[in-house]
């Protein structure tokens, strides 16, 4: 299996270009990030070119402190679309293939309509990119608009955009729903990216409730051939947390 280092959590002490180099040195096949905007796109692109890694995805900005995205918040459409535009421009500048549009803290039919309109905007603005939506669990992200895979599936079906896909984060969905084997099998045609971390502590994927040897074998058997995102929080130095990587790469 191939793996992507999520540089939102791995090597957090390093500037993004240096974290990209660290991920290459550790044996990752790709990288991804949360919010790269404090770093010049040309510096990030240079590090990617130097290492031969690709940046799989990045997020739209969260908004003001305490917010968790803007795209499902009625009356914030102008700001939401400005952040979508910013994310798309940055992704294009560094050769990144996907943008995760963050919904925000909201609920109800107006929020759903707002989110669908902003997703349609994102999909039309960047037809060459994958636009991702991700359910987040209610413990880490209380009040977040999108929290289950069934809700995400309904949104994707309503939007009916070929480049709108599900970010299947095993950590979040195990907490909210479980039954990941059946969910991965059923949702595979709609999945644009997969992420892993231990449950419940969000540590390295080598302990806890989920057996990632099983998950990786299942993904392989389902035809998944893209890097899986390692989005976990090391307890100490990132380099000391990577014992799982060569073991799962052999699957």
Among candidate residues 134, 157, 177, 209, the one labeled active-site is 134
What are the extents of the domains in the chain?
Answer: 3-249
CATH code for residues 3-249: 3.20.20.150
Among candidate residues 32, 83, 112, 231, the one labeled active-site is 231
* pLDDT score recorded for residue 4: 98
* pLDDT score recorded for residue 71: 98
* pLDDT score recorded for residue 48: 98
Known catalytic residue at 32: no
Weakly modelled stretches of the chain, pLDDT under 50 = none
* pLDDT score recorded for residue 76: 96
* pLDDT score recorded for residue 68: 95
* pLDDT score recorded for residue 107: 97
Known catalytic residue at 18: no
Concatenated DSSP letters of 117-183 = HHHHHHHHH-TTSEEEE----TTTSTTBS---HHHHHHHHHHH--TTEEEEEEHHHHHHHT--HHHH
pLDDT tens digit string along 191-205?
A: 999 999 999 999 999
* pLDDT score recorded for residue 135: 98
């Amino acid at each position: 299996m191939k793996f992507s280092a999520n540089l939102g959590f791995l090597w957090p002490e390093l500037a993004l270009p240096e974290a990209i180099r660290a991920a290459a040195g550790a044996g990752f096949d790709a990288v991804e990030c949360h919010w790269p905007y404090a770093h010049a796109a040309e510096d990030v692109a240079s590090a990617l070119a130097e290492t031969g890694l690709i940046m799989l995805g990045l997020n739209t900005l969260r908004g003001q402190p305490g917010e968790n995205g803007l795209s499902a918040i009625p009356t914030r459409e102008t700001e939401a679309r400005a952040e979508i535009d910013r994310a798309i421009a940055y992704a294009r500048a560094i050769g990144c293939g996907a943008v995760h549009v963050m919904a925000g803290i909201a609920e109800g039919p107006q929020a759903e309509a707002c989110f669908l309109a902003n997703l349609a905007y994102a999909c039309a603005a960047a037809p060459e990119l994958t636009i991702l939506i991700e359910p987040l669990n209610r413990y880490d992200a209380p009040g977040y608009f999108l929290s289950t895979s069934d809700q995400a599936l309904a949104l994707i079906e309503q939007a009916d955009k070929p480049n709108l896909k599900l970010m299947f984060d095993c950590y979040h969905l195990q907490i909210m729903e479980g039954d990941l084997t059946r969910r991965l099998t059923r949702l595979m045609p709609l999945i644009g990216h997969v992420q892993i971390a231990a449950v419940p502590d969000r540590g390295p994927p080598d302990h806890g409730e989920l057996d990632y040897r099983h998950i990786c074998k299942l993904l392989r058997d389902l035809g998944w051939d893209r890097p899986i995102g390692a989005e976990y929080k090391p307890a100490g130095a990132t380099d000391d947390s990577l014992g799982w990587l060569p073991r799962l790469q052999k699957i």
